[in-house]
Amino acid sequence: MHDPIPTVTLPSGIDIPALGLGTWQMGEVKARANDEIDSLRLGLDLGMTLIDTAEMYGEGGAERIVGKALEDRRDEVFLVSKVYPWNASRTGTIAACEASLKRLGTDRLDLYLLHWRGEHPLADTVAAFEELKAAGKIGAWGVSNFDTADMEELLTVPQGENCAVNQVLYNLSRRGIEYDLLPWCQSRGIPVMAYSPIEQGRLVHHPELIRIAKAYQATPAQVALAFILERESVVAIPKSSNLRRVRENRDAVDLDISDEDWAALDAAFPPPARKTALDML
- Multiple choice CATH, 14-268, 3.20.20.100, 3.40.50.300, 2.60.120.10, 1.20.1440.60: 3.20.20.100
Cβ neighbours of residue 147 under 8 Å, at least 6 residues apart?
181, 277, 278
| Extents of the domains making up the chain | 14-268
Cβ neighbours of residue 4 under 8 Å, at least 6 residues apart?
47, 253
What single-letter DSSP state applies at residue 85?
A: G
Q: Which residues are catalytic?
A: 57
Cα(20)–Cα(225) distance, integer angstroms: 11
Contact criterion met (CB below 8 Å) for 88 and 120: yes
Cα(146)–Cα(241) distance, integer angstroms: 28
Q: What is residue 201's predicted lDDT score, i.e. its pLDDT? A: 83
Cα(127)–Cα(130) distance, integer angstroms: 5
Q: What is residue 111's predicted lDDT score, i.e. its pLDDT? A: 98
Report the predicted TM-score, pTM, of the whole model to 2 decimal places: 0.97
Cα(223)–Cα(212) distance, integer angstroms: 8
Q: What is residue 3's predicted lDDT score, i.e. its pLDDT? A: 86
Contact criterion met (CB below 8 Å) for 226 and 3: no
| DSSP per-residue letters across 161-208 | GG---EEEE-BTTB-GGGTTHHHHHHHTT--EEEESTTGGGGGGG-HH
Q: What is residue 135's predicted lDDT score, i.e. its pLDDT? A: 98
Cα(43)–Cα(174) distance, integer angstroms: 25
Which residues in the chain come in under a pLDDT of 70?
1
Q: What is residue 2's predicted lDDT score, i.e. its pLDDT? A: 80
Roughly how many angstroms between the first and final C-alpha of the chain, as a whole number? Answer: 36
Q: What is residue 40's predicted lDDT score, i.e. its pLDDT? A: 98
CA 184 to chain centre: 18
Q: Give the closest residue to 221 by CA, choosing from 194, 202, 193.
A: 202
